Amino acid sequence: MNPSTKQLKWFNSEHAHSALAALDEKSLPQHIAIIMDGNGRWAKRQGKPRLFGHKAGVASVREMIASCVELDIPYLTIYSFSSENWSRPEDEVSGIMKLFVEVLTREIVNLNAQNVRVKLIGDIDALPEKTRLAFAECVQSTAANTGLTLVVALNYGARQDIVSAVKAITSEVHEGDLSSDDVTSELISSRLSTSGIPDPDFMIRTSGETRLSNFLLYETAYTELYFTDTLWPDFNRDALLDALLSFQDRNRRYGGL
């Protein structure tokens, strides 16, 4: 059985119909992670400021959410703002934080309508108050939803997340609640901010860059990687289907033969 046998109204182009016919429903990833790169370069090509590209990229986020909902993919994680992004120009960072508030205020109704639950990973406390409160409201408002889980990585850095996990475990060992023999990969995973979220099966990075940029380093040990030259604002539902076709052709051996 493939997704083309369903009534998938969201995928309505000829390209999508062809891709869906070749897509095996059983081969779809359960968790897609995306590094949404290229907003600034996209804006520059339009002769616009970088923030214009970030605003355009919101449409691609909507496309990915709706696509994952339609394909019954349980988890989607998006790298919205890294812990290193604070080094960008102040006006760009300020504009992004305000954009988060605008988008969240506008999209909560749509997220609930699509049965999407929002979760956050990263150092949320370091965000500006209005941004932090807007995300908190979104998480609370969608908490009871049972469809797609949208994980937003916000002020997130994988190395810092691992450091925090190690500190927590070290403290528990020091207090006598754990012994060093209790420390396993599963225990470390349980102390990461992604605890309770399955590791990504598939990671997509747009814009032609071929690195992980401190994103989910522990969780992606056996994740299939997909790099595309397409800039994030141009990455749409058809581009996602092309990526999924690539994924289903992979032979995932997890270190075995």
Please tell me which residue in 2, 24, 37, 161 is annotated as part of the active site. 37
Please tell me which residue in 2, 85, 145, 236 is annotated as part of the active site. 85
Please give the pLDDT value at position 184. 96
- The yes-or-no answer on residue 201 being catalytic is no
Please give the pLDDT value at position 8. 67
Mean pLDDT within 90-102: 96
Contact, 178 vs 105, CB < 8 A? Answer: no
Average pLDDT over the chain, rounded to an integer:
94
3-state secondary structure of 136: helix
Radius of gyration for the chain, computed over Cα atoms and rounded to the nearest angstrom: 19
Residue of 231, 226, 73, 53 lying closest to 150 (CA atoms)? 73
Is pLDDT at 3 greater than 70 in this prediction?
no
Q: What is the pTM of this model?
A: 0.94
For the chain, give the number of residues.
Answer: 257
In 3-state terms, the chain is what percent helix, strand and coil (to 5)? 50, 15, 35
- The yes-or-no answer on residue 85 being catalytic is yes
Is pLDDT at 115 greater than 60 in this prediction?
yes
**What is the C-alpha to C-alpha distance for residues 102 and 124, in angstroms, rounded to an integer?**
17
Residue-wise pLDDT for 189-235, tens only, equals 999 999 999 999 999 999 999 999 999 999 999 999 999 999 999 99
Please give the pLDDT value at position 1. 43
Residue-wise pLDDT for 7-57, tens only, equals 567 898 999 999 999 999 899 999 999 999 999 999 999 999 999 999 999
Which string of DSSP letters, residue by residue, matches 12-46? -SHHHHHHHHH--GGGS-SEEEEE---HHHHHHHT
Residue of 181, 235, 247, 180 lying closest to 206 (CA atoms)? 235
